[in-house]
Amino acid sequence: MKINWKKTIPIILVLSLSLISSFRLFRTGYFSMQDDMQIFRLEQFDKCVQDLQIPCRYIPDGGLGYGYPLFNYYSPLPYFISEIFHLLGFSFINSIKITFVFSRVIAGIGMYLFSSLFWGSLGGIVSSIFFVFSPYMAVDSFVRGSIAEFLALSLVPLVFWSIYKLITSKNLNIKNIFSPIFFLTLLILSHNLTSFVVLIILTIFIFITLLLNKKFNFKSLFISFTPIIFSLLLSSFFLLPAVFEKNLVTLDTMTQGYFYYAIHFVGLNQLLLSHFWGYGASLWGPIDGMSFQVGILHWIIPIILTIYLFLNFRKIKLNQKVFFIFFLLLSLFSLFLVHSRSTFIWKLLPFMPYFQFPWRFLGPAIFGLSFIVGYFPKIIKNTRYSYLISSMLIVSVVLINLPYFKEDLWYNNLTDSQKLQGEQLISQSGAGLKDYWPKFSQKVPDYFAPQNPTSNPDSNIEVIYFDKKSNYVNSQIKVISSSAEITFPLVYFPKWRIKINDKPSDYQIDPNLGLIKITLPKGDYEVELNFVDTPIRKIANLLSLISLFGLMISLVVINRNHVKSS
């Protein structure tokens, strides 16, 4: 088979430079990060897989060892991808690092594919490298270690590329219809907040694309929005419980105290002029411990291009100037939301406080600005100069920003077992404890859970056997005193079912920490607890399965019609 080098070389270049931005991860060991919970979460996700709790909802050792329903609310895809690598034989640590590298690669390739549709191959390369080497991408990975948001942001260009290809294609085929559904589903399952913002932007993008291509009719609208509908249905197993069972867990803590949005606005100097780089926290006022810079070239080049656009407005193709302006406005509005002047919007829209950090909107801002930069090669008519200046732009952005793509601390030869025991385990297990903690207690724990069930002080029991998994608990208990009130190191969340000596039984919920407890008279007992789905989770799972089956049938029908027509 003959290789099309004209198409292959740009992909190889983008792939190579994307890997260069991750070269620090190609070492033994692990790096420090603010969200230092990734290894623990992956290990817990792996336990769900081993226990056949699919989809994973309740993790056994979170919440300081008491367990809690993390993945009923927290996006599972980053850990699903990491779990694939772990099942292939990689350690938990290396699996997480590979997922970070994988995300950066798809960010580069996705941005190239999308931008090249408008600016050509050379412009696509420039946009891609600017996107991959934007300072915020370094913040998200090497400073925050936010694997979910990082993966979601990396998927955004592929979502827009696949939707645009669907709308502008002359014939429907499996590739055109499946790609946007696939990438949108991945995005939704990667990060709630990012996917919410992207769906709003994508809706506007779809309308604009339909109008420009003179396809604004019912059939085209239906085809264009089908991927969104299918993606939401396929993600139902996660979305529906997260929405309809949100009243079962604490969510207020996610918008209070340190997480109150007004603390985290960013000044213009921090966005545009400051070159400060740090690994500390986001704090009140301009003296933060981390950087929120857009990137010097990321805003200077768009200004130059905007001036050029308006000076030559009539000469530029309608398609190019409309999308240039669209992504320019997207970037400006996103940057406005980062600044305190946008407070009235944060107060006006009730969902905004859940974004917690206004600087999260740097994500859509750098996506839009990186896309715009790709227009630069188009304004240079001389091909030789176009290649020369594009090369200078690529080299400049890499040299300026590559120093940011490094860790604060590197732990040489750190192993999974070291990361998942002692103080390391307690720290990761207790991190984010108040987020998604079940609302069946008066407080959250402040100490690690005991290894076995415990009894009230005036009783005597012997725990012969205790095995706690993500969705199943089995124990053999001998009550020596006349009776005993036994508390399991297991926080209640609907639905745990209990059997005592193979007979269904009732249990109580300790009002202090919300733990499951039972009262038993003197004797020998085998106690089993099983975590089962609530009606809404069953409906959500079934809806996802039906949607998957329906998608497969639809693709077969589309393929047959395509074959017949060709």
Residue 264 and residue 322 in one domain:
yes
Among 224, 117, 220, 215, which Cα is nearest to 181's?
A: 224
Residue 406 and residue 466 in one domain:
no
- Structural domain range at position 270: 5-31+73-411
Asked whether residue 67 is domain-assigned, the answer is no
Residue 327 and residue 464 in one domain:
no
The answer to whether the CB of 145 falls within 8 A of the CB of 36 is: yes
The answer to whether the CB of 487 falls within 8 A of the CB of 507 is: no
> Roughly what angle, to the nearest 10 degrees, separates helices 218-234 and 147-168?
150
What is the CATH number for 464? 2.60.40.1180
Cα angle for residues 103, 110, 317 (degrees, 5° grid): 155
Phi first, then psi: what are they for 444, rounded to 5°? -100, 155
Position 182 scores a pLDDT of: 96
Asked whether residue 42 is domain-assigned, the answer is no
Cα angle for residues 190, 196, 198 (degrees, 5° grid): 85
Q: Of all helices (H) and strands (E), which one includes residue 476?
A: strand 472-491
DSSP character at residue 259: G
Residue 369 and residue 481 in one domain:
no
Cα–Cα distances (Å) from 84 to 76, 88, 179, 210, in that order, read 13, 6, 21, 38
Asked whether residue 383 is domain-assigned, the answer is yes
Residue 404 and residue 467 in one domain:
no
Bridge partners for 524 per DSSP: 478
Among 450, 262, 417, 276, which Cα is nearest to 341's?
A: 262
Find where tokens 């120093």 sit. Answer: 403
- What SS3 state is found at 446? coil
Asked whether residue 419 is domain-assigned, the answer is no
Asked whether residue 388 is domain-assigned, the answer is yes
Q: Of all helices (H) and strands (E), which one includes residue 224?
A: helix 218-234
Q: What is the pTM of this model?
A: 0.94
Cα 429 from Cα 433, distance rounded (Å) = 8
Asked whether residue 205 is domain-assigned, the answer is yes
Residue 400 and residue 505 in one domain:
no
Residue 400 and residue 458 in one domain:
no
Cα 453 from Cα 3, distance rounded (Å) = 64
In total, how many domains does the chain have?
A: 2
Position 257 scores a pLDDT of: 86
pLDDT mean for each 10 residues of the chain (566 residues)? 73 93 95 94 97 96 94 96 97 97 97 97 97 97 96 98 94 85 97 95 97 91 93 97 94 85 94 94 87 96 96 92 97 97 95 94 98 94 89 96 96 94 90 85 90 90 95 95 93 95 95 94 95 97 94 78 60
Question: How many Cα neighbours within 13 Å face the side chain of 148?
Answer: 22
Position 562 scores a pLDDT of: 59
DSSP character at residue 441: S
Residue 356 and residue 254 in one domain:
yes
Asked whether residue 59 is domain-assigned, the answer is no
Find where tokens 């696949």 sit. Answer: 162
Retrieve residue 295's tokens: 């990137």
Residue 89 and residue 142 in one domain:
yes
Cα angle for residues 169, 170, 173 (degrees, 5° grid): 70
Retrieve residue 427's tokens: 């720290």
Among 345, 96, 114, which Cα is nearest to 209's?
A: 114
Position 563 scores a pLDDT of: 56
**Residue 93: burial class (beta carbons within 10 Å; 0-12, 13-18, 19+):** buried
Cα 129 from Cα 208, distance rounded (Å) = 26
Residue 325 and residue 218 in one domain:
yes
Cα 189 from Cα 183, distance rounded (Å) = 10
Bridge partners for 239 per DSSP: none
Among 137, 151, 144, which Cα is nearest to 405's?
A: 137
Handedness of CA 427, 429, 432, 433 (dihedral sign): negative
Retrieve residue 385's tokens: 């100069």
Among 483, 494, 538, which Cα is nearest to 516's?
A: 494
Q: How far from the centroid of its chain's Cα atoms is residue 302's Cα?
A: 28
Residue 221 and residue 300 in one domain:
yes
The answer to whether the CB of 393 falls within 8 A of the CB of 363 is: no
Asked whether residue 547 is domain-assigned, the answer is no
Residue 333 and residue 202 in one domain:
yes
